[in-house]
Structure 1
Amino acid sequence: MRRNRYPKELKEQLIQEAMEVGNATQVARRHGIDPKRLYYWIRESQHKGFQEAPAEAKQIAPYVPSAQEFKRLESENIALKKLLGEKTLEIQILQDLIKKKNPSYRKN
């Protein structure tokens, strides 16, 4: 026999909170449960006639990086831009060398 892991009161509370907030994913993550489980409970409650779930309840919460992660991503972005610039310059130099060695070379 299957054990009911979440009490009915908790399910109803989370469903209600998801309706009020309008973002079921955010509510599920805040309470440490799988968002798919909360969506299932919302659908189940609709079939049982509890309440109608708004379309906003299925929106995915936007990702907001922490300050430390943001700085890391920013420095990585700067390093990658620098590397791209160096590689672009290297390609240009090599193409100029090819033109000097082989005058019949034409870039399309």
Structure 2
Amino acid sequence: MGRSRYPKEFKEQLIQEAQEVGNASQVARRHGIDPKLLHYWMKESKHKSFQEAPTEAKKITAYVPSAQEFKEMEVENIALKKLLGEKALEIQILQDLLKKTNPGYRRNLK
């Protein structure tokens, strides 16, 4: 059995009707098509404006921080690493203390 092709005008009419009614499944059943197909057409129609946009508008540029922002991030990164090291040391000290004060404690703390 071959696939059915629907004219563009028919698709647009069903999409508009589904948006007006607010129930795409009901509209699809009324016209004898699969509701999944109508949902696909609706999703596809939302992205048509992106497809028709010029290629220059589609370019996504990477964020490059300025020298000052980069320096601030480096300073913050160093401070966070220092804090992480202190917290790791604190946890290790507390685990050792727990082992010494409670020798029957068998939970693996690593």
TM range (shorter): 0.3 to 0.5
> Which structure's relative contact order is higher, taking Cα pairs within 8 Å and 6+ residues apart?
1
Larger Rg: 2
TM-score scaled by length of structure 2? 0.47
